[in-house]
């Protein structure tokens, strides 16, 4: 069976059943009900995948689509999405992603009759966005938003590009769309300069590996359908779209595909929208999508990402870690691990561990991370004895191994991310390198330690009863692993 | 972040944020995300566009 969100949920239910919570009570996603539940859970340090069986649609009726969200909120579930063991959630996961990214797979084009996403086809006025349980995530959001991936096709070279973009519900056949000046925006501008509409397909739900693959950091010109096939470890099955036939292919095993055109020379007010940094992107004057068709499975699931929270952050971080690691390894072969920390929305704060052999390697590693990924703003390089996945360890290294006047470098006037709220220019900003490594050219104070021999010899159970151990309050003074 | 300005909705009097280059001093109605009211900037009693 080809991979889909259905096959993933079956696998998750079998392997990590405690990770799923199903809610049967009716609720209204467009009135913050889903966000409030996720926020309450988050406050308790809980990040289950949520299935809402009776969510209301935008007509205020019980939607025929189940709503699934928070899929990516733990790295363990992301590991499972790539067919790995949940215990491989650290660097193994990122490195496996990087390995697959280097091995794209050519998609397989199938006939419409065999495509699950064509089980229901609606066009024209029958293609009604109000059928969906679209989520309004945060208080200042301009409306309910579909926040999954948008596919566009380069009009000159014919490759497909896929990106997570915000799509504001504006009417039964209308969406507002915001594109940062990256790949899909480039495609849109190419068409608009010729006064042509840009065909797009919104892939509302698919296997989680599809979305992890969509967040690759490949350069413009790489076909994302091929790359996603590599990440999914199977060729992505494609099928001709309803609107453009075989001139524009869409994923056959998706749950829901919304086909539409971004109109040239048309702008409308859009937003605000709570974005990935955990801050609002402002109201803008942005293009609009004229919806042409909606196709879906009979039992289709509607998927959402809780943007600005772990669901959104972890999803974006994993694809970057492996790519950055590989890039650094080219110049600093002793790199041990790379982590995009939750504290930086898995985008802005990059922690790199190296087994430093000579002075200067630190900065080489940091600069490579910045060059590889323009999201990176603050790089902290630590020694191999520090786990970059443990933020308390990283900050300990900063506290004990950094003299600010000597170990911090600021790089000015460099491309940044437009959604960084601290920028004072549209896209130009600054970046920081903190060298939290021990110098290799002079003696430096060693860390305190308890002898390994003693740790092996002393068994807690011989000294403290299990009953007493159960009563001792537990304090999580380091970053929780999940 | 790009330059933004904060504006008070004349109907519900709640504040929201708008992209300066896209919409400040433009003859375009803004949309209040809180109460769904559409209004011209001149109708707002308070606009904070310091930079």
Does A221 share its domain with A342? no
Query: Does B4 reach chain A within 8 Å, measured CB to CB?
Result: yes
b/e code A391-428 from CB counts within 10 Å (16+ = b): bebbbbbbeebbeeeebeeeeeeeebbbbbeebeeeee
**Nearest 10 degrees: CA dihedral of B34, B38, B39, B41?**
60
- Residue B51's pLDDT is 85
pLDDT tens digit at each of 482 positions of chain A: 899 999 999 999 999 999 999 999 999 999 999 999 999 999 999 999 999 999 999 999 999 999 999 999 999 999 999 999 999 999 999 999 999 999 999 999 999 999 999 999 999 999 999 999 999 999 999 999 999 999 999 999 999 999 999 999 999 999 999 998 889 999 999 999 999 999 999 999 999 999 999 998 888 999 999 999 999 999 999 999 999 999 999 999 999 999 999 999 999 999 999 999 999 999 999 999 999 999 999 999 999 999 999 999 999 999 999 889 999 999 999 999 999 999 999 999 999 999 999 999 999 999 999 999 989 999 999 999 999 999 999 999 999 999 999 999 999 999 888 889 999 887 899 999 999 999 999 999 999 999 999 999 999 999 999 999 989 887 755 444 43
Does A341 share its domain with A432? yes
- Residue A476's pLDDT is 57
Kindly report the CATH number assigned to the domain that includes residue A155. 2.30.110.10
- Residue A426's pLDDT is 79
A283–B2 CB contact, under 8 Å: no
Find the distance separating the first CA and the last CA of chain B, reported in whole Å. 12
Question: How many domains is chain A built from?
Answer: 2
pTM of the predicted protein model? 0.94
Decide which of A278, A310, A342 is a domain's last residue: A310
- Residue B1's pLDDT is 66
Q: Is the peptide bond before A173 cis (omega within 30 degrees of 0)?
A: no
Does A220 share its domain with A335? no
In a domain, A466, yes or no: no
How far is the C-alpha of A84 from the C-alpha of A96, rounded, in Å?
Answer: 9
Cβ(A369)–Cβ(A339) below 8 Å:
no
> Of A283, A285, A421, which is closest to B1 when you measure between CB atoms?
A421
Kindly report the CATH number assigned to the domain that includes residue A408. 3.40.1670.10
Question: Tens of pLDDT along B1-51?
Answer: 689 999 999 999 999 999 999 999 999 999 999 999 999 999 999 999 998
- Residue A478's pLDDT is 44
Query: Does B47 reach chain A within 8 Å, measured CB to CB?
Result: no
Total Cβ atoms within 10 A of residue A475: 6
Does A266 share its domain with A383? no
b/e code A37-65 from CB counts within 10 Å (16+ = b): bbeebbeeeebbbbbbeebbbbeeeebeb
Contacting A residues, span 133-172, partner chain B, CB-CB under 8 Å: 139-143
Cβ(A208)–Cβ(A97) below 8 Å:
no
Does A235 share its domain with A340? no
Does A287 share its domain with A379? no
Query: Does A18 reach chain B within 8 Å, measured CB to CB?
Result: no
Complete edge-to-edge strand list for the sheet that includes strand A20-23: A20-23, A49-52, A66-69, A301-304
Domains, in order of start, for chain B: 4-48 (2.30.30)
The ipTM assigned to this model is 0.98
A282–B29 CB contact, under 8 Å: no
Phi-psi label, residue A83: left if phi above 0, alpha if psi -120 to 50, beta otherwise: left
Residues in A touching B22 (Cβ below 8 Å): 284-286
Query: Does A123 reach chain B within 8 Å, measured CB to CB?
Result: no
How far is the C-alpha of A381 from the C-alpha of A437, rounded, in Å?
Answer: 7
Residues in A touching B16 (Cβ below 8 Å): 140, 272, 283
- Nearest CA to A99 out of A252, A227, A251 is that of A227
Does A306 share its domain with A362? no
* Sign of the four-CA dihedral A20, A25, A29, A33: negative
Residues in A touching B29 (Cβ below 8 Å): 269
Total Cβ atoms within 10 A of residue A6: 18
Reduced to 3 states (helix: H, G, I; strand: E, B; else coil), residue B22 is helix
Q: Degrees (nearest 5) of the Cα angle A305, A308, A311?
A: 40
Q: Tell me which residue range forms the domain holding A25.
A: 5-310
């Amino acid at each position: 069976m080809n991979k889909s969100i259905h096959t993933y949920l079956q696998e998750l239910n079998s392997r990590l059943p405690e990770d799923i919570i199903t809610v049967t009570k009716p609720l209204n996603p467009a009135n913050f009900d889903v966000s409030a539940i996720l926020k309450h859970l988050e406050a308790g340090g809980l990040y289950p995948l949520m299935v809402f069986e009776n969510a209301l649609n935008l007509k205020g009726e019980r939607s025929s689509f189940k709503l699934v969200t928070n899929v990516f909120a733990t790295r363990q579930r992301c590991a499972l999405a790539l067919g790995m063991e949940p215990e491989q959630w650290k660097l193994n996961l990122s490195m496996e992603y990087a390995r697959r990214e280097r091995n794209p797979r050519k998609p397989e084009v199938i006939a419409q009759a065999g495509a699950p996403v064509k089980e229901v086809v609606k066009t024209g006025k029958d293609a009604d966005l109000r059928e969906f349980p679209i989520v309004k995530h945060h208080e200042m959001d301009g409306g309910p938003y579909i926040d999954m991936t948008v596919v566009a096709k380069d009009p000159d070279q014919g490759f497909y590009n896929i990106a997570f973009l915000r799509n504001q519900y504006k009417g039964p056949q209308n969406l507002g769309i915001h594109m940062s000046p990256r790949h899909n925006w480039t495609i849109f501008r190419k068409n608009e300069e010729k006064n042509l509409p840009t065909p797009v397909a919104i892939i509302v739900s698919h296997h989680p590996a599809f979305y992890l693959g969509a967040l690759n950091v490949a350069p413009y010109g790489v076909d994302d359908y091929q790359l996603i096939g590599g990440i999914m470890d199977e060729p992505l099955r494609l099928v001709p779209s309803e609107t453009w036939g075989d001139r524009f292919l869409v994923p056959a095993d998706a749950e829901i595909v919304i086909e539409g055109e971004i109109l040239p020379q048309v702008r409308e007010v859009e937003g605000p929208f709570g974005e990935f940094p955990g801050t609002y992107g402002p109201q803008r004057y942005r293009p609009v999508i004229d919806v042409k068709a909606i196709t879906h499975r009979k039992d289709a699931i509607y998927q959402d990402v809780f943007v600005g929270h772990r669901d959104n952050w972890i999803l974006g971080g994993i694809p970057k870690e492996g790519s950055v690691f590989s890039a650094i390894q080219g110049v600093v072969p002793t790199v041990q691990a790379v982590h995009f920390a939750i504290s930086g929305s898995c985008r802005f704060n990059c922690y790199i561990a190296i087994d430093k052999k000579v002075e200067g390697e630190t900065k080489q590693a940091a600069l490579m991370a910045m060059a590889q990924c323009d999201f990176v703003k603050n790089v902290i390089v630590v020694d191999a004895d520090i786990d970059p996945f443990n933020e308390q360890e990283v900050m300990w290294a900063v506290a004990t191994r950094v003299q600010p006047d000597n170990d911090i470098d600021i790089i000015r006037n460099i491309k940044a991310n437009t959604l960084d709220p601290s920028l004072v220019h549209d896209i130009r900003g600054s970046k920081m390198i903190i060298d939290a490594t021990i110098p290799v050219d002079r003696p430096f104070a060693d860390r305190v330690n308890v002898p390994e021999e003693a740790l092996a010899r002393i068994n807690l159970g011989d000294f403290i009863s299990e009953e007493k151990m159960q009563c001792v309050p537990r304090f999580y003074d380091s970053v929780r692993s999940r | 972040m790009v330059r933004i300005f904060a504006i008070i909705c004349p109907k519900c009097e709640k504040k929201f944020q708008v992209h300066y280059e896209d919409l400040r001093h433009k003859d375009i109605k803004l949309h209040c995300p809180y109460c769904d009211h559409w209004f011209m900037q001149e109708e707002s009693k308070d606009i904070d566009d310091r930079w």
